[in-house]
A and B are shown apart, each in its own frame.
Chain A
Amino acid sequence: MGAMQGSSPATSPPVLALEAITVLGRGKPRLDGVTLQIAAGERVALLGPSGAGKSTLLAVANGLLEPSGGQVLWDQQPRAHSARGRRRQQARIGTLWQDLRLIDELTVQQNLNAGCLARWGWPRAVLNLLLPIDSAACAEALQRMDLDPGLLNQSVAALSGGQRQRVAMARMLRQEPTLVLADEPLANLDPRLAGDLLQLLLEQAKAPRALLLSLHRPDLLQGFDRAIGLRNGQLQFDRPVSEIDPAQIQQLYGAEAPGP
């Protein structure tokens, strides 16, 4: 199927492709004809002032929101019709939520294993609520995030903010996704912690994985391959980080709307 269109800077097939995506909102559209592609191994930052449509774009990219116009392709496939097909598609999309969405009533290990629910059937899912299972894999997932495996048996509610952030990332990696989406994961962290976490996240995004991360601090751009500028629901630029000049960024966040 010749589903691809436009010119992609990457040679490998796109993990995610948005084609003329429109999402209607109250009054003006929240997304207005956005087209972009992300190839395996690419690390892409999504920039824009608040209200630009970054969260909406990520919600479309992770399947939570069905666009009113345009098409989303994951691994070159459109949204599956069957429930089973949808679940298989969703299992390859890992999302790091701004509010983390950990389950406070469960232990760290149970939360980490919740990332595997797509692959697991009922017996293992229920067993996870009774006994510590897959301990070795969970401990490894924590270590990859620079966390002490001794935390496995702790309740998530007892962790510090930085620890929770890392547990959320470890859960997402337990899912073994090919597309990693992150909605302002660094917004509530102090600068040093934000830098560390970003580094961890960038390290995980190697081919065949791809990363799309929304950011409201342009100073954290190094380490990304590409940056996408979004304003008023419209794509402003989409180019390698090395080619972006500061004036463009200023214009993106500037008070007056850029010309057509």
Chain B
Amino acid sequence: MRVAPPLLLLLPALVLLPVLVALPLLVHGGGWELIGQFLQGAISPSLDPVVLNSVITGLGLTLGMALLGWAVSLMLGLVLGLASSRLIWQSLSGTALPAELVRRILAIPRAIHELIWGLLLLQLVGQQPAVAVLAIAIPYGALVARVVSDLVDALPTPNLEALRAGGAPAGAALLTALGPPLLPGVISYGGYRLECALRSATLLGVFGLGGLGNELVLTLQSLQFHELWTGLWVLLVVMLGLESGIGALRRRWGMPARFGLGAGSVGQRGRELLLSLLALVPLLLWVGRALEVDPRALLQWQALPPLAPHGWASALALPWPSMVLQTLVLTLLAAALAVGVAPLLLLLVAPWPWGRRLLQLIWAFGRLWPPPLTALLLLFVLKPGVVTAALALGFHNLGILGRLLLEGAEATGSASEDALRCSGSGPRLALLYGRFSGLARSYLAYGAYRADVILRETVVVGLVAGTGLGAQLRESLSSFAWDQLAALLAVYVLLTLVGEDLSDRARQRLLRPA
């Protein structure tokens, strides 16, 4: 028996069966009334000027943190990316060894989620806007560096060799041969990172680093659902606006879409692009001033509380195997839910013209709604645990994967699906056979990448839903047990590096021509 591509796409959705079986066991008594009130709040958000004012202020702070963190991460990422490119070291110094070294070192900041960076920095330097900016910039910078170096090293080299053979100095030859083909990929990826930065900044707010996320979690905890929805609707409008704006610029400048990162297209309208980048500089300076971000404050470290005696012994005594197992199960459950449910839902709504619109709205909420908030909401009716955490994390990533799947489905064209419809097959079967066939491999490859991201993100729901390494991390953080924290971070880094390697292999296998 060989599973054909369209079914392969739906295979991860099989995880729904055990989840649906487990769900009734997880439901506890009360709380349904609260869920009802929450849903009612959606149609009657508070329009009180005081609420609106605090939402707008919080949104400004979140947007500012996202923008600054994003800009710093791009600059960091470009420099570090070039510094970890084998091709560049090879051309400049004749050996690629330093590139390998930088790559290995960068794996560490990349493996640690921005929330952990945020919480660590918060302990070290106290509450201030610069913390969130830096918390975003560190892991994002390392991520951008990896993508940039991969892009550089994947570029064809004959042009470079020709320039070098003609006697051009290494630096000039690199810039001329690699700059133009590199730019579209970098800009496209950069735009995508800005969308991510907005989500991260909101998430950091949930954990007390300021901004709209803070408002959201406070209104949720005090059950002020009408006020909660004011923030949610505003955030939805901003996020959809940002996404469509970035999409429009990407098309206007002829940049590749996300599904086929690395597909070679040459950018257009270079002057407009340059002017936009230049316009960013005063904007960033103004935002920095408005948020009162002071990089110098980051240097004033608070004194750490003394270590508890026998700290290392107690760190070793933690239930490591079960924590690691829970984290892995959480990752796999959430990834399977997110990857599998998106195509399943698309199939379900295929016959109805409004179905897609509805899904787009639900998915948009999934993207903007930080997973710990979903977890809090689920805790109204479900017991804490791996499944609850996986549902929260899965819903968030469903929003991201669902949008990508729709983009991909629209890009594949309707010819085969139309042909099947014309021969009388139903809308669902036509979608399954006609569109999912061509989409399956690239979508699953992206899903493999996403699973790697989800592994990093487990900490975010672990902190709330009380499961895995994340739960222990919160305890260690709040009790200032630095030794436990160091051990936890080391395990996290190790896990994510192994996960990254596995997901890379899975991706390469999926994208290899059959």
Contact = CB atoms under 8 A, between A and B. Distances in A.
Interface of A: 62-64, 83, 87-95, 97, 99, 101-107, 110, 114-115, 117-118, 122, 125-126, 129-131, 155, 157, 172, 175, 177
Contacts of B474: none
B4 A117 contact: no
Nearest to B432: A125
Contact of B434 (A103, A107, A118, A126): A103
6 contacts: A87-B424, A90-B421, A91-B423, A101-B419, A118-B425, A131-B1
Interface string B1-18: 111111100000000000
Given A64-B421, A117-B423, A117-B429, 11 more contacts: A83-B351, A88-B424, A90-B423, A101-B419, A103-B416, A103-B437, A117-B430, A122-B429, A126-B7, A130-B2, A175-B424
Contacts of B432: 125
B438 A114 contact: no
A99 B7 contact: no
Nearest to A177: B423
**Which one of B5, B433, B440 has the highest number of Cβ atoms from chain A below 10 Å of its Cβ?**
B433
A64 B418 contact: yes
A241 to B, nearest CB: 28
A156 B416 CA distance: 14
B91 to A, nearest CB: 38
B422 interface: yes
B351 A129 contact: no
A203 B407 CA distance: 43
Given A64-B418, A90-B424, A117-B425, A105 B5 contact: yes
Given A105-B5, A155-B514, A62 B422 contact: yes
B426 interface: yes
A194 to B, nearest CB: 22
Interface string B106-150: 000000000000000000000000000000000000000000000
Given A103-B437, A104-B438, A106-B437, A115 B7 contact: no
A87 B434 CA distance: 16
Given A129-B4, A131-B1, A118 B423 contact: yes
Nearest to B437: A105
B415 interface: yes
Contacts of B6: 105, 129
Contacts of B1: 130-131
A87 B381 CA distance: 43
